[in-house]
Chains A and B, each alone.
Chain A
Amino acid sequence: MKKLCLAVLGIVLLTGHAMASNLEYFKVYTPKQGMSADEIMNIEYFVKYTKFAHDASFYGKAYFIDKSGSVRERETTRLRITLGRKSDDIAYKDLVMFTAPAQVKGLATLTWTYMNPKKEQDTWLWVPSLKKIRKISAANADDSFMGSDFTNEDILTRRFEDEAYTLLREENFKGYHCDFTKKTYYQDAPCFVIEAKPKRSPWYYSKRILWVDKATGAGIYEEMYDPNGKLFKIIFKKFQVYNVNGKEYPAQELLEGKDLRTGHRTVITNEDIRFDIGIPEDQLTEQKLMQSRW
């Protein structure tokens, strides 16, 4: 349960560690023609972890669909503030509260993510069955993210420094047909195609091939290959651009992950996404978590 919550954190918020880059917080970056693979991936991580926004709130749903078509659901509300603060090294603070189903209602996770890419997150869990906060350890990077087909590092912890990048080509994306929404996305969208190889070895994957949208810098599709070079997982992300105070923020509205070995897939949707609404930092403290009611 703790791990599940821990993991949930990132669905939309996609909290993560800051990469070793000079990109300034609270600015919007898009990739340019002629950029290197590293420069493109720097922007991809920046977008993925929404470092452009001061804060955000989301309402999210996750659907776990097994091979037989059986569906389980989770619903959450989330708050996030981006700090990028050097004094205490905090990059983000995230609060995720489960709202459904009733069995997990009230479960809440507070996570602080640090700018130092080598530093793990601090995580607190409000456990309704204890009516108590528990400080918990970060889940392992290769563990399933909330029981989904994503790993924790897919969503939460993978950093720019964890992989080596090669620009393979530029091409128009063939389009992705989402089984959940029955729609096709990003057909013919101009993309950079990047190969990312993990520096850690042995590891559960040998490489990722990413399609990065030229218009936003968002990683919209990726293929993951196992240590034998066999494709075992695909991840799709649909972004929507929000105009906030004249700035254009790309935000993830839909994620779909498919495990090709088990036939299990996960769909995450984010609704009612709001940026820069002035969430005070004292809403994301251990003390506030202790005031939970459910």
Chain B
Amino acid sequence: MKKSVFVVLFLLSSSFAFAEGQFDFSGYLKNEIGIRLQDFNGDLQKFKNIAEVAGEYTVKEDVVLFAKVKYWYDLMYDFRSQYDKGQDAMGHIQRTDWLRDCYLDYTNGAWFLRLGKQQVAWGQADGITVLDRVNPVDLSEYWLQDFVDMRIPLWMANVNYAPKLNSNLQILIIPDFEQSTSAPIGSSFTTYAYTRYDNWKESMKRIGGSVDENIYFPAKKFENSTFGLQWSDRIGDLAYTLNFLDGYYYSARNTTIGLGGVRFKVDRAFKRWQMYGSSFNKTFTNPGFMQGITLRGDLALYKHEPTYIGDPVTASAKEIKRWDNVFWLIGADRYVATNWLLSFQFAQYILDEAKAKDNTRPVQQQYPLNPFTYGPADQVENIFSLKVSTDFMNERLKPEVLWSFTDDNQGRISPKVTYEVKDNLWLTCGIHYFYGDLLDSNGQYREQGQFYTQLKYTF
């Protein structure tokens, strides 16, 4: 209710503002078509039409209102009956997701406040969320969307104070909570774990059993808010941040309880965790063999991160452990041969243990699991990404290739080309090719490789 009142007040003030001047807006219409590579003759994965409009009103020099709304409808779910189960969740925009931004900015000397629905991005990683954990994420299209569309915005107070030049203290108070979402059953990017769970549930029903599902959201109390802190500063020409986040983990973890016979209860609950982290960036600007290279990195300790334990062979989760896991990344970028940009990243996700201790379960059920597939999770997962991009025709044609992979011989190769037809009309064509074992994060989608087009009209 409070949120609705805020939105109405915001829109009223904006419309009033429009009459007064200092109003700026822009937006786009976009069509996205995805076709499965394995069945190129017409197995659509999406036919999504998107409209987005953003507006900004400068009330006075130090007070600015900003809002962005979005709507989309995926016609593919009307065209293809095999995806009927996913239509409700994937056919159109969900719940309050239409409001992407709605906030007020206030600046006063060293103070900057941003109050309202927004997203906050931390860290230096590109495409990998090491420190970028302030907002939950929408993984209904795996990690294929732009991050601005993938992050789920939250209502928060974002308070900033700059005690000196080039430094900033950011305090986040987030009384809002949304869970990270994944693709539902009946869509192209349903996780393997979810598919197996659904199959099990259906099999229980077929033999007369039942699965009672419950989800427990954090109670709406101030003490259940997420709190964040970031200090950013420079040491010479090295910029760094120190980060802290304390809140509820945005992905619920399942616990299955047998009630006797073929009756089961599945409780989905959110656990509180903390993140301690740091990031840096530095460009080597002085002459020498490193000149022109930008180094950047993130380091995070995920304290009490809910981690699935179970049997990776049968892809079955048995328990949740609260482990202290570490995720770090280092990236390097450099232009070579006039206008070719190479961008390389290496990351390690290090689990607290290779195997659960103090576990009374059989040995084969004591291993950490990949949360997407319930397949095996290495204690040290090595992750690599390489991006190569360039341009032709006075930057009108921009090809790019992203290859991300792990040491388990699984990954994704995503080449794409963007062409500027006119100032306000852009066409992108590309491919997402997944490979690997069915129980790996990318391998689970090895039959969901995609050719896609995006046609975007901006105004």
Q: A-side interface residues toward B, CB under 8 Å? A: 1-4, 64, 66, 72-73, 100-103, 105, 114, 116, 118-123, 128-132, 134-140, 142-144, 146-149, 264, 281-282, 285-287, 290-291, 293-294
A118 and B286 alpha carbons, distance in the complex (Å): 7
Is there an interface contact between A287 and B166, defined as CB atoms closer than 8 Å?
yes
Contacts A103-B458, A122-B283, A139-B339: A72 and B147 contacting too (C-beta < 8 A)? no
Contacts A132-B147, A282-B162: A2 and B119 contacting too (C-beta < 8 A)? no
Contacts A118-B286, A122-B285, A129-B148: A293 and B237 contacting too (C-beta < 8 A)? no
Is there an interface contact between B292 and A120, defined as CB atoms closer than 8 Å?
yes
Range of interface residues on B (Cβ < 8 Å): 35 or more
Is there an interface contact between A147 and B394, defined as CB atoms closer than 8 Å?
yes
A53 and B459 alpha carbons, distance in the complex (Å): 36
Contacts A131-B121, A132-B147, A287-B232: A143 and B338 contacting too (C-beta < 8 A)? yes
Is there an interface contact between B292 and A291, defined as CB atoms closer than 8 Å?
no
Q: B141-171: which have CB < 8 Å to A? A: 146-148, 151, 160, 162, 165-168
A134 and B345 alpha carbons, distance in the complex (Å): 14
Does any Cβ of A come within 8 Å of B105's Cβ? yes
A2 and B66 alpha carbons, distance in the complex (Å): 25
Is there an interface contact between A73 and B339, defined as CB atoms closer than 8 Å?
no
Is there an interface contact between B147 and A144, defined as CB atoms closer than 8 Å?
no
What residues on A are CB-neighbors of B237 within 8 Å? 122
Given contacts A3-B395, A131-B121, 11 further A-B contacts (CB under 8 A): A100-B423, A101-B458, A119-B286, A131-B151, A134-B124, A142-B338, A147-B391, A147-B395, A293-B66, A293-B101, A294-B56
Is there an interface contact between A137 and B147, defined as CB atoms closer than 8 Å?
no
Is there an interface contact between B285 and A291, defined as CB atoms closer than 8 Å?
no
List 6 interface pairs A-B (beta carbons < 8 Å), by A numbering: A3-B391, A4-B395, A135-B296, A140-B337, A148-B394, A282-B165
Question: Which among B64, B124, B168 is the interface contact of A135 at CB below 8 angstroms?
Answer: B124
Q: B-side interface residues toward A, CB under 8 Å? A: 26-28, 54, 56, 64, 66, 101, 105, 110, 112, 114, 119, 121, 124, 126, 132, 146-148, 151, 160, 162, 165-168, 232, 237, 239, 281-283, 285-287, 291-294, 296, 333-335, 337-339, 341, 391, 394-396, 398, 420, 422-424, 426, 456, 458-459
- Can you name the residue of chain B whose Cβ is closest to the Cβ of A145? B395
What residues on B are CB-neighbors of A281 within 8 Å? 165
A176 to chain B, nearest CB (A): 22
Contacts A102-B458, A123-B283, A293-B66: A146 and B395 contacting too (C-beta < 8 A)? yes
What residues on B are CB-neighbors of A129 within 8 Å? 146-148
Closest 5 pairs (CB-CB, A-B): A147-B395, A102-B458, A135-B281, A287-B168, A102-B26
Is there an interface contact between A66 and B394, defined as CB atoms closer than 8 Å?
yes
- Can you name the residue of chain A whose Cβ is closest to the Cβ of B282? A135
DSSP class of A's interface residues: helix, strand, loop or mixed?
A: loop
- Can you name the residue of chain B whose Cβ is closest to the Cβ of A290? B168
Is there an interface contact between B391 and A134, defined as CB atoms closer than 8 Å?
no
Is there an interface contact between A103 and B456, defined as CB atoms closer than 8 Å?
yes
A118 to chain B, nearest CB (A): 5
Question: Which among A64, A72, A116, A135 is the interface contact of B294 at CB below 8 angstroms?
Answer: A135
What residues on B are CB-neighbors of A138 within 8 Å? 283, 285, 292, 335
A191 to chain B, nearest CB (A): 30
- Can you name the residue of chain B whose Cβ is closest to the Cβ of A65? B394
A7 and B398 alpha carbons, distance in the complex (Å): 16
Is there an interface contact between A72 and B423, defined as CB atoms closer than 8 Å?
yes
Is there an interface contact between A102 and B396, defined as CB atoms closer than 8 Å?
no
Is there an interface contact between A72 and B232, defined as CB atoms closer than 8 Å?
no
B281 to chain A, nearest CB (A): 4
Is there an interface contact between B283 and A135, defined as CB atoms closer than 8 Å?
yes
- Can you name the residue of chain B whose Cβ is closest to the Cβ of A139? B335
What residues on A are CB-neighbors of B423 within 8 Å? 72-73, 100-101, 103
- Can you name the residue of chain A whose Cβ is closest to the Cβ of B120? A131
A120 and B456 alpha carbons, distance in the complex (Å): 36
A147 and B422 alpha carbons, distance in the complex (Å): 14
Is there an interface contact between B121 and A3, defined as CB atoms closer than 8 Å?
no
Is there an interface contact between B338 and A105, defined as CB atoms closer than 8 Å?
no
What residues on A are CB-neighbors of B148 within 8 Å? 128-131
What residues on B are CB-neighbors of A120 within 8 Å? 283, 285-286, 291-292
Contacts A102-B459, A103-B426: A135 and B396 contacting too (C-beta < 8 A)? no
